[in-house]
Amino acid sequence: MRDETLIDEQEAEERHEAMDYMQHEKTWETFTGLVKWAMIQLAFIVIGLFCIIQAGAPVAGSVLILIGIFVPGIWMLFAPKRLPS
């Protein structure tokens, strides 16, 4: 009886050749871009909360939080679109 958990070399080669590398790279680029912008957005929100709670600068903190929340969405709406390659 064959062990179904192991893939023989021929089957692995067939799967390897069928992989769509262009789509994979595009998906990875999109994912890493979203993670990057999420980290930047969170940094603005955390610094804004620090300004409001600890630093005693509620106006600056509010501005930073608003930037962190709205600017990424506005950028996604109005940024120049890349043409598909």
Of the candidates 25, 47, 35, the one whose C-alpha atom is nearest the C-alpha of residue 72 is: 35
Model confidence at 21: pLDDT above 80: no
Render pLDDT for 33-62 as a digit per residue (tens, 0 to 9): 889 888 988 998 999 999 888 888 889 888
Output the pLDDT for position 78: 82
Output the pLDDT for position 12: 59
Please provide the average confidence, as pLDDT, over all residues in the chain: 79
* Mean pLDDT value of segment 49-76: 86
Output the pLDDT for position 74: 82
> Per the confidence metrics, is the pTM higher than 0.85?
no
